[in-house]
Chains A and B, each alone.
Chain A
Amino acid sequence: MISQTTTYVTRREAIGNGFARNRNTVRYTKRNLGSISQIVIVGMLTLIFGLIYVAEGTKATSFDYELSAVESEITEMNAKKEDLAVEKARLNSVATARTSTVAAAMEDATVTGYATE
């Protein structure tokens, strides 16, 4: 909503102010926003900025959740990797080889070469 105020200038005042015949005169008009409009605009801007902030904040949080899920998955995979490494070490241990039925069924080597040959 716009309100306007017109100020009438008398000829004497106009001459006093530098107005004269055959000169262009200008009518000055003050144009102000009303107080309700100002409140509404400020409110709208606040709302928009608020929404942008919330949207960005939510987006960051959702990324954090994704990150957290990925980190959990990494932890899980590392734990599985650890388990497999332990299993591999146990299977490769000399103690396991000695109790292996496959190893027990093997014959002792009778022909050997020398390491420096």
Chain B
Amino acid sequence: MPRNSIKKDNLKNNNSNVLKHRIKLLKATVFACVAIILVRLFFIQIIEHGSWVAKADEQHTILETITPKRGEIYMMDKGEPVTVVLNQTTYEVVIDPTVTKKEDIEKVANDYVKDYLVNDIDEVYNQTGLRYSIIAKNIPRNIAEQIADSGIPAIWLKKINQRVYPENELGSSLLGFMNSDGIGQYGVEGSLNDVLTGKEGLIKTTADVNKVALSIGNDNVKIPAEDGKNIVLSIDRGLERGVEEISSEIIESSAATNAAVLIMNPRNGQVLAMSSLPNYNPARYSQIEDASIYLNQTTDVPYEPASICKNFAFSAAINEGVMTSDTTYFNQGYEIVDDWKIDNAEQRSSLYGTLTMKDALYWSLNTGSIYALKLLGGNPNSINQQGREKLYDYYHNKFRLGQITGIELFEAEGMIPDPNEGWGRDSTYANMTFGQNVGLTMVQTASAFSAVVNGGTWYTPTVVKGYYQDGKITNPDDIREKNPLIEDKILSDETSAMMRDMLINNRSYKGDRPGFSIGGKSGTAQVIRNGAYDDSFSELVGSYIGFIAPSGEMPEYIIMTKMWGEGQSIGSGEAMNLFDALSGFLIDYYKIKPGAA
């Protein structure tokens, strides 16, 4: 074989080996690449499956809660519901000072939201590192649309669900307000927050790049939101307005700074007016510095209604058959119980001697109500355990004083002392007959008084008339499950009639409007300082409670008033003036026809 030929064959073999080697290398490379890809795919599809699915879902799935519409609140006016709390969508102008140009936001401020600014623009831009600032709030939709159409960049319009109170301050302590988190606080907004809020819905659906929900996909979910219930209150808007205006006028003309009024229908427990002054605008609740203004003084705050409680002690004794309005006792101007002297407030000499219980109520004599307690115990000379237990039974179990009444509002429980546990029971119970040593709310007191004058039936006080839907008032079933309306006959008709006569007699000197039976009872409470009653009378709380009826008929309205002021000696006279003014207004407002008798 020629040498060249051998060389050629060697070269050919070498080339072939190189090629084979390269092919092997290529195969190995391809295999390695495929292996890497497979491993990576294994990791993505098996190991990291969940997180990649979540990322994909995030990109093409819309998952949102559907906010329910908060229920509206209505009051009654001439027999028709009128809206007093409703909703409105408003907007906030939000900027990022590092992105939004100052001249742009100044243009927006000057052209559109001058009246809605909440922050000074210069101050916002002077702060370093600020990335989020609300420039304007409560902007109506039409102005928000103008801003959006103006084409000014880097301005965010944030949608806000705002609660609107078109009657401003009217009934604020009754209505409460909705806070910035959308949660009801105080009043009906707070106590019936669950009913007003409704239930959130959910939407989960596939979306395209424009975030438009698509109907394709197997995992789409749509649970509609359940809107909150519209609540109709039994409150009469015109009467409420009149009550607040008259209360303001009486406050102006006296040393009092506060007044609370409760007007009820004693025949069914429906509250027609409920006010606490001073009041506030619920839409601007955050501007209130003294949080006590939020309180509903008729339900949230127990106090001593003082001599108003004589009605309950007298009713108990009459109902037990141990006393009538003509029962007599000897009044010496004071009583000594547990070595403690209890004086009458009224000490005129003409009252010393034998008096009837009707006289005792007329002059509001503490000795008279203590005598009723003695009679309950079966011993006219001293207070005993039987008397205490019977009084407790009437106060706590029958009149439901010192316990939750069941009204659909937040309420304080109050307190009635135990008849046997504790020190100085006799003196404590002697004080209870004229409204000291107890803690009662106005709504407890007014409900009990309703039973005294309406024929003897205790009704659960209520402010909710029903739900309002499609122009109809319906029964508020779920509220009634929690707050059932109780009707309990606790006094005889005769007891009630006798009490009405005595209460009308109490006002015999007043010269009330002819054709009407108006009865009432005052109460002046001392204030407790350092654990003891302030006998200097430097601060007093005045109360008055009464009923109105056409002559010869059963009462249709109960009015309870309370007036006070820090450091002010407000007697029951001011509270009675308020009652007198309100009773006249109420007769005119409802055009109540005088009775024939």
Chain A positions near chain B (C-beta within 8 angstroms): 57, 60-61, 63-65, 67-68, 79-80, 82-83, 85-86, 88-90, 92-96, 112-117
Contacts and interface: CB of A to CB of B under 8 A. Distances in A.
B420 to A, nearest CB: 50
Contact of B212 (A64, A88, A113, A114): A64
A94 B170 contact: yes
Interface in B55-74: none
Nearest to A114: B593
B111 to A, nearest CB: 21
Contacts of B212: 64-65, 68
B213 A68 contact: yes
B214 interface: yes
B166 A93 contact: yes
B180 to A, nearest CB: 19
Given A63-B215, A83-B142, 15 more contacts: A57-B216, A60-B214, A60-B215, A68-B213, A79-B89, A86-B164, A89-B84, A92-B82, A93-B166, A93-B167, A93-B168, A94-B167, A94-B238, A115-B593, A117-B593
A82 B89 contact: yes
A93 B240 CA distance: 13
Contact of B592 (A60, A68, A114): A114
B179 to A, nearest CB: 20
B213 A86 contact: no
B549 to A, nearest CB: 12
The 8 closest A-B pairs by CB, nearest first: A114-B593, A89-B166, A115-B591, A93-B166, A89-B83, A90-B166, A116-B593, A68-B212
Given A63-B215, A64-B214, A83 B591 contact: no
13 contacts: A61-B216, A63-B215, A79-B89, A80-B141, A83-B88, A85-B83, A89-B83, A92-B82, A92-B83, A94-B167, A96-B166, A115-B593, A116-B592
A79 B141 contact: yes
B244 to A, nearest CB: 10
A81 B542 CA distance: 47
Interface string B130-149: 00000000001110000000
Contact of B141 (A57, A83, A92, A96): A83
Contacts of B267: none
A38 to B, nearest CB: 29
Q: Classify chain B's interface size.
A: 20 to 34
A89 B588 CA distance: 26
Nearest to B244: A94
B86 interface: yes
B216 A60 contact: yes
Nearest to B237: A94
B164 A89 contact: yes
Contact of B208 (A61, A90, A96): A61
A80 B142 CA distance: 9
B592 A115 contact: yes
Most B CB contacts (10 A, CB to CB) among A64, A80, A114 go to A64
B47 to A, nearest CB: 32
A83 B208 contact: no
A95 B590 contact: no
Contacts of B238: 94
B87 interface: yes
B86 A86 contact: yes
B507 interface: no
Interface in B80-101: 82-84, 86-89
B214 A61 contact: yes
Contacts of A113: 591
A20 B406 CA distance: 110
A64 B591 contact: no
A92 B88 CA distance: 17
A10 B215 CA distance: 68
A22 B216 CA distance: 68
B396 interface: no
Contacts of A60: 214-216
Given A113-B591, A115-B592, A82 B168 contact: no
B241 interface: yes
B84 to A, nearest CB: 8
A53 B286 CA distance: 58
Contacts of B166: 86, 89-90, 92-93, 95-96
Contacts of B213: 64, 67-68
Contacts of B89: 79, 82
A63 B214 CA distance: 9
A94 B82 CA distance: 11
Interface string B215-254: 1100000000000000000000110010000000000000
A93 B168 CA distance: 9
Contacts of B241: 94
Given A115-B591, A115-B593, A89 B86 contact: yes
Contacts of B140: 83
A80 to B, nearest CB: 8
Contacts of B237: 94
